[in-house]
Structure formats: C-alpha cells, structure tokens
Structure 1
Amino acid sequence: MADEINVLVTLNAGYLLPLKVMLWSLRTNNPTEKFNIWLVHASMTPAQVAEVQQLTTQFGWQLHNEQVTTAFKDQTPLIERYPQEMYFRLLCGQILPTTVKRVIYLDPDILVINAIRPLWELDLQGKMLAAAAHRGVTKLVDNVNQLRLGTTTSYFNSGVLVIDVAQARDKIKLADITAAIETYSATLILPDQDILNFLYGNDILEIPEEIWNYDTRKYLVYQTRTLTEHDIHWVMAQTVILHYCGTPKPWDAKSDGKFTGLFLNYQQQLNRLVATLAPVAE
C-alpha cells in the first residue's frame, strides 16, 4: 500500500502545543509519508487552527478542519473534569466524511519516533478497532478492570487506536454511549476509556504496547517484564509511539522523567522551524 495515511486528532486548545510537537515528530520520523490530518474539535478558534495549518502546509500534508456542530456537541456526554472532545474519537464515524474508511487516532501527548506505516497497514482481522493494553509486570490491572466493568477482555488504552471507520459508523452509536454513562457513571474512572472497553472491548484487536503505545512512566516495568531486554536502546530502535500518560506532562516545569528530555528536544526543534516561517495571521 502506498496510500496516504489518515491521522485523527480530537482536542481543545489546551493541547495545541503538544499536538504541534506530536505532528513534528511524526513528520521527522516519517519524512516520505503523506498524511491527511483530521482535526476534530468543538471550540478551537480560526487562529488556533491556522497554527496547525501552518505546519501541515509546511510538511506538504492536508489538514481537514472538522468543527463539530453545536447540535452534535450538545448531544455529547459531558462528565465534569473531562472534555467532550474525548468522545469524538469514538464518534468519528458520525463526524468524518463517508469517504474516510480508516484512521489512526493519536492523543496529542505522544511522540512518534519510528515508522508508523506498519500500524496503518495492520490487518484488523475483521475487528473494528486495534489498541494496546497498558499492563504492569502482571495482568493485575486487567483483572481489576474486568471486575469493575464486568468485561472479559484486556483493558485497552484509548490513546492510540486504529479505527475501521466504516464499521464504526454502523456500530458506535451516541445513544449507546449516553446510556452507558447514565447507568454506570458512578463507577467510571476514565470515562471515554471505560466506555471504549465496556461497549466495544470484544471488537478490539490487541497490539503490543511496547511498540505502539509505550507508557513513558513504565520504563522500569517494561525492563523487568523482559528481563532488561527492553532497555533504552531497544526503545529507540523498536518503539514507534511514546505516550506521555498521566501527569506531569513533559512540557510542564515539574516533569523530569526518563523521556522528558526527548520531548523537550522535539519541542525545541519545532520552535526553531516555526521561527523560520511566516507569522500566523490573527
């Protein structure tokens, strides 16, 4: 397959900076690829969208600005402390044009450090989604979440998804999501991720977290689990997606983790690039 890769991002303006760093890392480590970036949001201003457009134009990519309608936004489940945008990834089948058949969804707090095409070309084996499960040294996390949600599958992280959009249009319904939230709101910890697992866990193909959704907080866990095989040299050579889960985020002053410096370096590279471009019109 030599086709262009569709990447879906859903966010509010609070994640504009990390989004731009993520896109720069994607470009740096996939220099020959053409990407269609589907930016789904509810409230970003034209000037903020223009900042993203400045980069995608520089990279030779196509940016699709998909601002959801007020009517659609008003129907989206809202839980205090969590933005509505988190549900747009699940509902992308209702938002994106029918010509879009597959997307890779990426959280903005991510670095892409190797080639992403193998994920794009992944055989979903008939499943609607592909995702990774973040485990510790054992599968205790899976067991706890199975008890909490009454599920039988692994507990999948929603930060990196391959989505068969054609299937999602038929299977993922806003009414089902709303009903699940109303019924189980007291037990939801990470609402969109819990809903993903509760409603659609059986339709998810598991992919290796160490490659496709590496939790940057868990370096020692990965090393322990592989008897030190997955050291930093292995990560830099084999891991494709680093996910800065939890807090503090690498752009925060309090962050001083194993992979903070790598993020800051990409941010610095991006700042140098932007300094050479024409200013974005207000």
Structure 2
Amino acid sequence: MSEPIQVLVTLNAGYLDPLKVMLTSLHANNPGESIHLWVVHASLTAAQIDELRWLTDQFGWELSNERVTADFTASVPLIERYPKEMYFRLLSGEILPPTVQRVLYLDPDILVINPLRPLWALDLKGKMLAASAHRGVTKLVDSVNQLRLGTTTSYFNSGVLVLDLAQAREKIKLTDITATIEKYSASLILPDQDILNFLYGTDILEIPEEIWNYDTRKYLVYQTRSLNEQDIHWVMAHTAILHYCGTPKPWDASSDSKFTGLFLNYQQQLQRLMALRPAVTEA
C-alpha cells in the first residue's frame, strides 16, 4: 500500500461543517487512498472530534486529534478579525510529532475533485514549501504585494501548502512570526498569508494554481488567460483543488456562482452519510 497522505487541517468550530464537506469530496475523488488526517485546534470539543472521527472511520482513514495547549496559544499573537488557528499551519512542525516529516495542508473552504497523490509526492526541489500564487490576467497582484511587503517573489496563497516539516522545524520560529507582526501589524492585510510570504517566500516552490489551488471566483480569468482552453470541462478533468476564496462562501444563501452547486452536492452527500450515524446519548 502507498504511504498515507498526511493531511493537515487547522480550525475552530466555525469551520467544522465546511471541513466535513471538504473531507467528503476528498474521499469521493480519491477512492481507496490512504489518508491520515491531523486535526490541529485549540477549542474543539470531544463531541465535535468524535463526530469527525466517525466520518473518517467511514472512509477508512486515521485521525489524530492534536489539541494545542493554552500555554502555546497564549504566545500566538492575534490581529482583530483573524483567529489564532490560522498560524497553526506554519507552526505545525512544533505541534505535530517529530516522526511526521511532510504534510499537505488544506483550508476547510475547499473541494477536492481529482486525485491528490501527485501533489503529495511532489519533489520540492530543496524548498521548504510548495504553494500557488493567485494572479489575475497579469502579474499585477504580485507587483502590488511586492511593493507592500518589500518582497521579490510571487505572492503565495496559504490555503494549500505542502510542507517539509523537517526543514520547517529548523527554519520557522514563533519568535520570528511574533516580531514580524509586532513590527508590521499596521500593513498586514491577511496576517498569516503575509507572514508566509514575508518570511518564507524565497523558500516556496510555485505550483500551478489552476490545478492545485483554483480560485472559484476567477473562472473567467482562467478561461481568458488560457485562451478559452480552461473551460468548465477542462476544470473538471484537470483541476484537483477548488478553493472558495473570499465571500460569499458556497454554504451561504447568497452564493450563486458557477461552483456553488458542486459544493452543495457534496454537502448533500455528507448529510446523507451523517444521517446513518447512530444517535449519541448523553452519559
């Protein structure tokens, strides 16, 4: 059997339902795949973890519950509107057991619609991370963020990451993250993503966004940039990860995009599966 794909998620209860939809899509489109799910959090309840574990048991996966201690979270700086859990992906080398050498981080607001094994097996070419840059038709976004952050690399999205944890344990330090936030807090727009790019951008291998981190808001951009090649048929055949960036989210009543229906279909599949779970009685 192939080595399990070590999937990392970090969240609070607010994203628990979207996470379960994401996992349903991952299972549906990676049949027979061996998955070890690492759930890193600071506040999920035992009942919420049990519900997740019931789901992953149905899929034949392994789940590890990694609750981050209060002492650790107290040292994680916060910026208004953003939860501390968003930093756990960068600090996962400190949180996960030292035996875990590589993880594939996925945001909860994602659908997996094709196999992930090629991304998991990616040669990082000596880099610490792999990530995609979300661009428009031109590279204007890169230029704006290079000016804003004083960087020279592409501006990478932190929603899908392959992390070499052996390198991360040596290079990613909470003290560096804290010092950067304290110094540049006024100019940080998406704090964890800005930190990723500011501190570690030169150690990131770029992977194609249209395959591994497709921004569902930008269907027409991808189609235009590819001279109409990347239509919806191309996306369904080639894209592995759809990322519902921004708002509204596909589970919101106001969402009515080209990709909303696909999310709602996996949500329905999840609901049918969860209806089979035996009722949990209070002790």
TM-score by length of 1: 0.99
Q: Deviations over 1:56-77 (max 9, x none)?
A: 1111111100000110010011
Give the unaligned 5+ runs of structure 1. Answer: none
Asked if the contact 2:5–2:103 (Cα under 8 Å) also holds between the matched residues in 1, the reply is yes
Task: Tell me the residue number matched to 1:163.
Answer: 163
* Percent identity (aligned): 77
Distance 1:280 1:60 in 2: 21
Deviates more, 1:42-51 or 1:241-250: 42-51
| Residue 179 (structure 2) pairs with residue 179 (structure 1) | yes
Distance 1:34 1:280 in 2: 28
Task: Tell me the residue number matched to 1:149.
Answer: 149
Q: Give the CA deviation at 1:281.
A: 5.3
Classify the secondary structure of the residue corresponding to 1:242.
strand
| Residue 191 (structure 2) pairs with residue 191 (structure 1) | yes
Q: Give the CA deviation at 1:143.
A: 0.2
Classify the secondary structure of the residue corresponding to 1:252.
coil
Classify the secondary structure of the residue corresponding to 1:272.
helix
Deviates more, 1:46-55 or 1:4-13: 46-55
Q: Give the CA deviation at 1:279.
A: 2.9
Classify the secondary structure of the residue corresponding to 1:89.
coil
Classify the secondary structure of the residue corresponding to 2:158.
coil
Task: Tell me the residue number matched to 2:140.
Answer: 140
Q: Cα 1:280–1:151, aligned 2, differ >3 Å: closer, same or farther?
A: farther
Distance 1:237 1:167 in 2: 34
TM-score by length of 2: 0.98
Deviates more, 1:10-19 or 1:272-281: 272-281
Classify the secondary structure of the residue corresponding to 1:186.
helix
Distance 2:104 2:280 in 1: 28
Q: Cα 1:95–1:281, aligned 2, differ >3 Å: closer, same or farther?
A: farther
Distance 1:24 1:61 in 2: 12
Task: Tell me the residue number matched to 1:50.
Answer: 50
Asked if the contact 2:2–2:34 (Cα under 8 Å) also holds between the matched residues in 1, the reply is no
Distance 1:52 1:201 in 2: 33
How many residue pairs match? The answer is 282
Classify the secondary structure of the residue corresponding to 1:158.
strand
Q: Cα 1:177–1:236, aligned 2, differ >3 Å: closer, same or farther?
A: same
The runs of 4+ residues in structure 1 deviating greater than 4 Å are none
Q: Cα 1:229–1:274, aligned 2, differ >3 Å: closer, same or farther?
A: same
Task: Tell me the residue number matched to 2:92.
Answer: 92
Task: Tell me the residue number matched to 1:124.
Answer: 124
Q: Give the CA deviation at 1:277.
A: 2.2
